[in-house]
Structure formats: structure tokens, C-alpha cells
Amino acid sequence: MRPTRWRRSTYLAVGATIALLVGVIVAAAVLVSSRGNSEQVAVAPQPAPATAAPAVVPVADAAATPTPAGLAAALAGVAANPDLGRFTGRITDAMTGEQLWAQGPDVPMQPASTNKVLTTAAALLTLDRDARLTTTVLSTSPGVVVLVGGGDQTLSAAPRGQDTLYRDAARIVDLADQVRRSGVAVKTVQVDVSAYSGPTMAPGWDPLDIDGGDIAPMESVMLDGGRTQPLTDQSRRSRTPALDAGRALAVALGVDPATVTVLPAAARGEEIASVQSPPLMQRLREMMNYSDNVMAESTGREVAAAAGQPRSFDGAARAVLTALGNAGIETAGARLLDSSGLSVDDRLTARTLDEVINAAAGDDRPALRPLVDLLPIAGGSGTLSNRYLDTDAGRAAAGYLRAKTGSLTATNTLAGIVTDESGRVLTFALLSNEAGPTGRTALDAFAATLRSCGCGA
């Protein structure tokens, strides 16, 4: 299950409330303790005001590097947990790129959503960080307008002034307003989904995952990521997302939604309305933090378009692997059938995943550096917000470990970075297939050990 989305301001407000309550309690205690002798009551001096000086503090270059022997000894126990099933991994020093520990690093494994690490890296390498996706409306003949999808899955049917699941999402109502201002008298709405090609469901996807809220058929226009409950992150998804978007535009224009159709080919006409998605970096952050499969597939198609490939599952997978190969990432053993990792037929190696993370944490590929900031924080954000909080080792790693998670039936994966107790930054990729009932907590325990193992000797 994915955690419910939260807003940072909520936690700030809670913290402020707690601080206020503590102050009230302390003041009350002082008054109560002094009531015994009113003649001796004295007002204590006010404490100095609290200050905050947030900053990004670099780790020390001279921090001790764990030794391969030290890591092997520290990890032997957690690596032996049978609930890890078939388990591979790789751990590397972020500064030097030296491999410190590995187990089957070149064995292709089911990556689940750690596949999104590759999709995000390829996007950072090939796309403008401010890139936006455009949804348009064309007037094609008297009384007929066509909603043309440009790949923006964050488009929302929410009324103006109402919250949207995706922050700063474009809205159907704005398209409708522009159409009305154009003077076109609309009688019929059609939908153009020609921007995407190929099948709408990838090999290895389970159609039941639509009802489960994990995916929608990939069409080039949909509302709120295809969710049937627009403000619920884990909502069931629609089986006809493009048609739904066309019907929403029809309703906004006062046209019978039952007459909306999806065109078999690209439309031609005069553009009379357009809206744009949030910028790429904002969309990547939402995709990575909440492991949004629809957003990942859309991003893969953006990479494909930039590479001159078809905006399809195959085209996106080819474009992602080509972008990484051109950046010097080892992709041998990779077999990708989608851009999200939802396919049970995807295969990646720990080496490929760790090399991507290591490149982002190092200095040689600055374009990849934002990837580190997009990783969920253990015990703090995204899909790791409710993990690493139940054991002493986990709590010790909370805040110091950042990773992309992956979960499918009997599969648990992690790819990310951790700062150990000496201040050394390590990158890692861990893949557990055919896992037992406590496979996820076993994987977390393995990763948490990297924080506090004292592996320098």
C-alpha cells in the first residue's frame, strides 16, 4: 500500500502546536510550584528565543570508508535471512565509485518500481527541467471540437478553486473557457489520442491493477492520472481515461457527454484552446515520491519523443536504456517492457541500478544530481514515510537513508544512498525476488545496517 499524501505544512503546524503546548505547560508548572509562598514569587527571566539555521552540510572528504571485509562481516547476518528469497545487491562508495560489497550484481532480477530510477535518470539526461506538456483543443469543422492529448496525465476536471491531486494541474474548465471565448458553437466533442502509439497495456501488466489503483490504460490524455476518485491517491483507475477526459470537456461546454467519441487517427484543425502541465521537475518529484506508475509511463514517452522514438512502451524502453548507455551506465542484462516497473517481466541488475545512483551522487554526471533529491527519505517522505520506524536499527537509519522503493508480489527492492555513522556516503541497489512473508522488513533491516555497522575495520 502506498502512504496517503501529506503536506509539509501540516507537520510544521503540528510542531508549532506542540512547542506552544510545551510552553504553556512549563509556565503553568512554574505558577503552581510558586503558589505555596506568594511573597517569594519571582518572575524567571525569559529564555533566549529559539533560532533555526537550516543548511546543507557537506560530508567530510576524509570520512573513513567501510572496508569490503568489514561490510561483509556486518551484513552476513541480515543477508542470511531466508525471507529475502533470491537476493542480489551491490554497495558502492559514492566518492570513489569503488564497489565495496556485491552479491550476484549481474543477475537480472525483477526490479518492480526501482525501474523508475532509470526512467527519471533518462529524463534528467535528455529533457529540459522546465519542460511542460500541452493539451489542446482544435476546431475541425462547424460545431466539432477535438481534445488533443499531449501526454499530460495530471490534467484535472476539478472546478476552479478546488484542490487537485497533482499540484498546479491544468484544468478542463480553463480549456472550456478558452473554447467559449473563441466563439465556436460546440455541438460535438471528439478526442485525439494519436500522440501515443502501440498497445495501452504493457506485457506483464495485470488488468486487475486498474481496479486496484496501480495503473490506467496508457492514453495521451486522462484526468488526475486516470483516477475515478480525483482526490484519492489510491483510487481505482478508469478503463477509458481518454473518453472520460472528452466527456468532462463536453460537460463543461454544455454538450451531451454520451456523444463523445475517440478518433481513430490524428485530427487537423485550428487550435482554439490550450493548457500546460506542471514543469518536469515537479512531475518527477510526484512520480518518485508516490511511485506513480501512470506518471512514470508518461515520462518514458517524453524521453522517447526527445529521442525520436515512438511514444509507446517499446519506444520508451529503448530510449531510456539508450540515454543511460550514452551516459556510461552499464545496461547489460536489462529487459524493460515498461517505464514504471509494474511489469512482472521487467529485468534489471543490481549493477545497473547502483551505477545510476552512484552517478547521481558523484561529480561526473551533474545532470543526474537532482535524482538524489527526488528519492524518498526513510521515515520521512513518500513511500518510505512509514518505514524504518519500528526497530532501533531502522530508527538509526531514518533521515540518513534515501531510496526508491519497489514492491510486487514476493518482490521487494531498494535503490538509493545512505550516510554511515562515519559520514561516508554509500550507494546501494538491493533486489529481493521470491521473498518470504517478512521480505520487506528483511530488506529494510539489511539497508539499515549500512548506517550503523561500523564497517571500517
Upper half-sphere CA count for residue 394 (Cβ side, 13 Å): 17
pLDDT at site 453? 85
CA-CA distance, 340 to 117, in Å (whole number)?
Answer: 9
Q: Residue 354: which H helix or E strand, with range?
A: helix 350-361
pLDDT at site 54? 65
CB burial of residue 16 (10 Å; 0-12, 13-18, 19+)? exposed
**For the packed helices 280-289 and 293-306, what is the interaxial angle rounded to 10 degrees?**
140
* b/e 361-389 (16+ beta carbons within 10 angstroms → b): bbeebeebebbbebbbbbbbbbbbbebbe
pLDDT at site 56? 58
pLDDT at site 21? 31
Q: How many CB atoms lie within 10 A of CB 86?
A: 15
pLDDT per residue as tens, the chain (457 positions): 333 333 223 232 333 333 333 343 333 333 333 334 444 445 667 777 767 676 656 677 777 889 999 999 999 999 999 999 999 999 999 999 999 999 999 999 999 999 999 999 999 999 999 999 999 999 999 999 999 999 999 999 999 999 999 999 999 999 999 999 999 999 999 999 999 999 999 999 999 999 999 999 999 999 999 999 999 999 999 999 999 999 999 999 999 999 999 999 999 999 999 999 999 999 999 999 999 999 999 999 999 999 999 999 999 999 999 999 999 999 999 999 999 999 999 999 999 999 999 999 998 899 999 999 999 999 999 999 999 999 999 999 999 999 999 999 999 999 999 999 999 999 999 999 999 999 999 999 999 999 998 786 5
Q: What is the pTM (predicted TM-score) of this model?
A: 0.87
pLDDT at site 47? 76
User: Do the bridges between strand 188-192 and strand 99-103 make them parallel or antiparallel, or are there none, so unpaired?
Assistant: unpaired
Handedness of CA 357, 362, 368, 373 (dihedral sign): positive
Tell which phi-psi region holds residue 242, choosing left (phi > 0), alpha (psi between -120 and 50) or beta. alpha
Q: Which amino acid is at 403?
A: A
Q: Among candidates 281, 291, 394, 408, which has minimal Cα distance to 343?
A: 408
pLDDT at site 6? 31
- Give the CA distances from residue 63 to residues 66, 71, 90, 239, in Å, rounded to whole numbers and listed in that order: 9, 16, 21, 53
Contact 422, 389 (CB under 8 A): no
Q: How many CB atoms lie within 10 A of CB 106?
A: 14
CB burial of residue 306 (10 Å; 0-12, 13-18, 19+)? middle
Contact 70, 455 (CB under 8 A): yes
CB burial of residue 273 (10 Å; 0-12, 13-18, 19+)? buried
Contact 226, 240 (CB under 8 A): no
Contact 222, 147 (CB under 8 A): no
CB burial of residue 322 (10 Å; 0-12, 13-18, 19+)? middle
Which residues are annotated as catalytic? Answer: 113, 116, 291
pLDDT digits (tens, 9 = 90+) for 403-424: 999 999 999 999 999 999 999 9
